[in-house]
Chains A and B, each alone.
Chain A
Amino acid sequence: MHEMSITRSMLEIARREMEVNGIHALRKLKVRIGELTAVEPDTLKFCFDVAIKGTPFQGAVLEIEEVPLGGRCRVCGGEVRITAFDNRCPKCGSTDIERVSGHELDIISMEGD
């Protein structure tokens, strides 16, 4: 279970950005989690809620944008939503698919006062 150390890294970035922007109370943290990462969104939310108790982050909400595993067909250029690791372009049948999304583990933005 590494969602706690992911949470710690998120809060470190949030703390730095709060200082830079003169924010005293964090209201919301928005993150982006790809389908092919080893991070479970529900576990991350749980860890976040536990980690911010009794800290300056208390009361903040974690908003998670989940990104599906997606690809682009190298033959016809079509966008592919990859499900069950079926690497086949639904339009042209090619299996030459470039993975373009699903590995994200990013902080998007924050809101605070």
Chain B
Amino acid sequence: MIKDTVIELKRDFIYIKRYIKFWVFFLCVSGTMALYNQYYFKVNKEITDLTHVKNQLTAKNMMLKKDISKLSSPDRIGKIAKRKLGMQPVDYSKVRFIDK
């Protein structure tokens, strides 16, 4: 009985073996597609992360530019010059031009 089943399975296997190329091809294509998919998602995730970092840096850059402008405001510098440093608006009578 067992012997018959083994023989039968062997025959099945021989029959399946005839289509082995098809199965290998099928598995290869599926595997490649799965790998490609994984790679695609990985790259996509990297792009998203890098875009996120880029946005963060752009935002920081903008904030720094804004701060520079705020700190270099003539109004602020004028106040510091007048109040803290006791400077006064220029009087041309005290200016000497040196001609070359």
Q: Do A and B come from one complex?
A: no
